[in-house]
Amino acid sequence: MMKSTAKRQVCVLLPNKRRLDCTVESKSRGRDVLDKVLEQLDISGLLIFGLATLQDNEYLFIDLEQTLAKCLRKSWRSGSEKSLSILFLRVQYYLQSGRLIQSRGELQLYYAALRQKVLRSLSRQQEAVFFQLAARALQAERGDLEIQDPQHKQYFLPEDYFPSWLIKRRGRDYLLQHCPKLHEDLRGMTQREAVLDFVKLSNTVEDVPVTVYRMRRGKKELKKSILFGVAVHGVCLYQDVEGKRCLLHELAWSDVDQVTFQGRRFEICAVGSLCLPKLEFYSPSALHSALVLKHLRDSHRFTISVRNALSHVRQMEETQATRLYREVYICDTTLLRQRLQRLTSSMTDSSTEPETRAFWMNSEGEGWFLCQGKNVALQI
């Protein structure tokens, strides 16, 4: 008589604060959990999301092809059928345009994730953008502003639409007075267009479309003062100075010559034309280093895979903006939308990634991948 496979309970927390409970086998992979999430959400696929664990107050994306026993380690191995493991559905790849997302369900999840990041943003120098973002969020969630009485300005809570520092700086009354005017200017905008506009505008906020990992500047330094950001266009390096984020370096993918790590030591070499010294930091662990570099490599591959689709999106937006001849506008837009659907359906195909040719890591954690035709190596 064959012994039945042990079961485990996994709770997946979504960006919209919803939770999904999944029952999986003890030998299941991260991919199996994601498949169950897709089934419950009734979505065919998630293009830009990954599953992450929370370790030392930091989210780390798991390898979906590895078993959950390796990803969750102690909590999984010591668990029983009644124990609960927690994973987070997080944005793994940020987009320059929400029109790249064909699934309405995924677009709503992406919007929810950006809403939360906007509320936590510390970009105090971009105050005006937050008013525009709040207006678009109100249009997306409440539709056209209905002015019925002088008290209409109190139809929303500032805490739901503005970062706490902005509320403290301006005061609730100021926000309640001025935000409705911006909301009213968007009358007639559909929910989808308001969401797409929010996505596009949130890209201009410095600390929103980026995943940040904390590292130490020196081996013996106690505080993790270096913020290593994986962004749409490449790598951003910040330093935390008394709670304020100061940009040290911003490197496009084409600016990165080599990324290596050995144990906790993480090094970045820029191309020679930038005349930058080798940048050296220390991550919490060798595993942390490996997961950060894997995220960096996957982000580079994803950026390459969406280039053609993004080009068509921009062409479509330009066509809609000009509207010189209505007949041509309708025809061109229809063809562009059909082309965009074909491109987005194949964005994860490796054949669309000519510049990211290989990635390799052995059991000892040694490996490399090619970035922009350059050898980007890693060692543990």
153 — pLDDT class (breaks 50, 70, 90): low
In this structure, what token pair is assigned to residue 76?
Answer: 């999984």
Whole-number Cα distances in Å, 282 to 7, 215, 224, 266, 346: 38, 5, 9, 6, 37
pLDDT at 211 over 80: yes
Q: What integer is the mean pLDDT of 169-179?
A: 94
Question: Which helix or strand (DSSP H or E) is residue 245 part of?
Answer: strand 244-252
Q: What integer is the mean pLDDT of 21-37?
A: 93
pLDDT value for 74: 67
Between 326 and 261, whose confidence is greater? Answer: 261
Q: What is the pLDDT of residues 233-247, one digit of tens each?
A: 999 999 988 878 888
Q: For tokens 């973002």, what's the residue?
A: 133
- Total number of residues shown for the chain: 380
Contacts of 148 (CB under 8 A, 6+ apart): none
pLDDT value for 213: 95
pLDDT at 228 over 90: yes
Q: What integer is the mean pLDDT of 151-168?
A: 88
Q: CA 266 to CA 116: how far, in whole Å?
A: 30
337 — pLDDT class (breaks 50, 70, 90): low
79 — pLDDT class (breaks 50, 70, 90): low
pLDDT value for 89: 97
Q: CA 166 to CA 201: how far, in whole Å?
A: 18
Between 304 and 191, whose confidence is greater? Answer: 191
pLDDT value for 344: 55
In percent, the amount of the chain with pLDDT more than 90 equals: 49
pLDDT at 98 over 60: yes
Between 36 and 153, whose confidence is greater? Answer: 36
Pairing, β 7-13 against β 84-91: parallel
Between 379 and 74, whose confidence is greater? Answer: 74
Residue 263 one-letter amino acid: G
Contact 199, 114 (CB under 8 A): yes
Q: What is the pLDDT of residues 44-66, one digit of tens each?
A: 888 899 999 998 899 999 999 99
Q: What integer is the mean pLDDT of 163-167?
A: 97
Q: What integer is the mean pLDDT of 34-46?
A: 92
b or e along 331-364 (b: 16 or more beta carbons within 10 Å of the residue's beta carbon)? ebbeebeeebeebbeebeeeebbebbeebebeee
Calculate the CA 73 to chain-centre distance: 25
Cα dihedral: 109, 110, 115, 117 (round 10) = 120
pLDDT value for 151: 57
Mean pLDDT of the chain: 82
Contact 359, 287 (CB under 8 A): no
82 — pLDDT class (breaks 50, 70, 90): low
Lowest mean per-residue pLDDT among 94-108, 179-193, 310-324: 310-324
Between 363 and 296, whose confidence is greater? Answer: 296
Q: CA 364 to CA 380: how far, in whole Å?
A: 7
Q: CA 316 to CA 216: how far, in whole Å?
A: 44
Neighbouring C-beta atoms of residue 69, cutoff 10 Å: 15
33 — pLDDT class (breaks 50, 70, 90): very high
Lowest mean per-residue pLDDT among 2-6, 141-145, 352-356: 352-356
Contacts of 138 (CB under 8 A, 6+ apart): 145, 156, 161, 179, 183
Q: What is the pLDDT of residues 114-126, one digit of tens each?
A: 999 999 999 999 9
In this structure, what token pair is assigned to residue 188?
Answer: 């007639």
**Per-range mean pLDDT, top range of 65-74, 159-168, 285-294:** 159-168
Q: CA 378 to CA 267: how far, in whole Å?
A: 9
